[in-house]
Amino acid sequence: MSTTSNRWVASHVASLPRSGIRDFFELVAKMKGQDVISLGVGEPDFVTPWHVRKAAITALEEGKTYYTSNLGMIELRRAVSTYVTAHFGVDYRPDDQVIITVGVSEALDLCFRAFCNPGDKVMYHQPCYVSYHPSISLVHGEGIAVPTYAKDNFALTAEALRAAWVPGCKILMLNLPCNPTGGTCDRVQLEAIAQFCREKDLLVLSDEIYSELTFDGTHTSIASLPGMAERTIFLHGFSKAFAMTGWRIGYACGPAPLIDAMMKVHQYSMMCASIIAQEAALEALNNGWENVCQMRDQYHKRRDLVVRRFNEIGLTCHSPRGSFYAFPSTQGIGMTEKDFAVGLLKEEKVAVVPGTAFGTNGTGHVRACFATGYEQLIVACDRIARFVEGAKR
Amino acid sequence: MNPVLKLLLEGGSLTTAQMAQVVGLSEAEVQQHLEQLKKDKIFLGWRPVLDLSREEAAGAAVRAVIEVKLTPERGGGFNRLAERLAKFDEVESCYLMSGGYDLLVFVNAPTLQKAAAFVSEKLSTLGGVLSTSTHFLLRSYKEGGFLVDGGEGSSDRLNVSP
**Residues 6 or more apart in contact with residue A372 via CB below 8 angstroms:** A37, A38, A39, A45, A302, A380
Identify the segments of chain A with pLDDT beneath 50.
Answer: none
Partners of residue A359 in chain B, C-beta under 8 Å: none
Average pLDDT over residues B46-54: 84
CB A374 within 8 A of CB A302: yes
Q: What distance in Å separates residue B162's CA from the closest CA in chain A?
A: 5
Burial class (CB in 10 A: 0-12, 13-18, 19+), A104: buried
What residues does A329 pair with on adjacent strands?
Answer: A365
Q: Identify the pLDDT of residue B60.
A: 63
A375/B21 touch (CB, cutoff 8 Å), yes or no: no
The DSSP secondary structure of B67-100, one letter per residue, reads EEEEPPBTTTBTHHHHHHHHTSTTEEEEEE-SSS
Chain A interface mutation, best of B147, B160, B161, highest count of A Cβ atoms under 10 Å: B160
CB contact under 8 Å between B159 and A28, yes or no, is yes
Task: State how far the Cα of A219 lies from the Cα of A35, in Å rounded to an integer.
Answer: 37
Q: What is the pLDDT of residues B60-93, one digit of tens each?
A: 678 999 999 999 888 878 999 999 999 999 999 9
Min Cα separation A351/chain B (Å): 8
- Find the radius of gyration of the CA atoms of chain B: 20
pLDDT of B153:
61
Please indicate whether, in this complex, the C-beta atoms of B162 and A19 are within 8 angstroms of each other.
yes
Question: Which candidate from B154, B157, B160 shows the least CB-CB separation from A24?
Answer: B160
DSSP conformation class of B2: -
Kindly tell me the burial class for residue B36, based on how many C-beta atoms sit within 10 Å of its own C-beta (0-12, 13-18, 19 or more). Answer: middle
How far is residue B27 from each of residues A303, B1, B31, B45, measured CA to CA in Å? 20, 18, 6, 18
In A, minimum Cα distance to B20 occurs at A305
Interfacial A residues in 23-82 facing B (CB < 8 Å): 24-25, 28-29, 36, 38, 40-43, 45, 47
Question: Looking at residue B115, what is its pLDDT?
Answer: 94
Instruction: Look at residue B20 in the predicted model and tell me its pLDDT.
Output: 95
Predicted pLDDT at B55: 77
How far is Cα A151 from Cα A88, in angstroms, rounded to an integer? 28
Burial-class residue A304 by CB neighbours within 10 Å (0-12, 13-18, 19+): middle
CA of B7 vs chain A CAs: smallest distance (Å): 10
Residue in A28, A304, A373 nearest the CB of B160: A28
Chain B interface includes A331 (CB < 8 A): no
Chain A residues with CB under 8 Å of B12 CB are: 373-374
Summarised one tens digit per residue, pLDDT across range A2-14 is 568 899 999 999 9
Task: State the pLDDT at residue A1.
Answer: 52
**A196 alpha carbon, distance to own chain's centre:** 23
Q: Give which of A114, A120, A132 is closest to A206, Cα–Cα.
A: A132
B21, B22, B159 member nearest A38 (Cβ): B159
A210: Cβ contacts below 8 Å, ≥ 6 apart:
A175, A176, A177, A178, A179, A240, A241, A322, A323, A324
Strands A366-369 and A353-354: antiparallel
Give per-residue pLDDT as tens, B91-137. Answer: 999 999 999 999 999 999 988 999 999 999 999 999 899 999 999 99
Sheet containing A142-147: order of strands: A98-101, A250-253, A232-237, A203-207, A169-175, A121-126, A142-147
Find, in chain B, the residue whose alpha carbon is nearest to that of A27.
Answer: B160
Q: Is the preceding omega at residue A180 within 30 degrees of 0, hence cis? A: yes
Structure ipTM over 0.85, yes or no? no
Q: Do A375 and B161 touch (CB under 8 A)?
A: no
Tell me: the pLDDT tens digits for A249-303? 999 999 999 999 999 999 999 999 999 999 999 999 999 999 999 999 999 999 9
CB contacts of A304 in chain B (<8 Å) are 24
| The pLDDT of residue A3 | 65
Q: Where are the beta strands (DSSP E) in chain A?
A: 37-38, 98-101, 121-126, 142-147, 169-175, 203-207, 232-237, 250-253, 325-326, 350-351, 353-354, 366-369
Measured CA distances, A271 to A97, A102, A241, A268, A282 (Å): 17, 10, 26, 6, 19
- The pLDDT of residue A195 is 98
Question: What is the value of pTM for the model shown?
Answer: 0.92
CA dist., res. A68 & res. A275, Å (int): 6
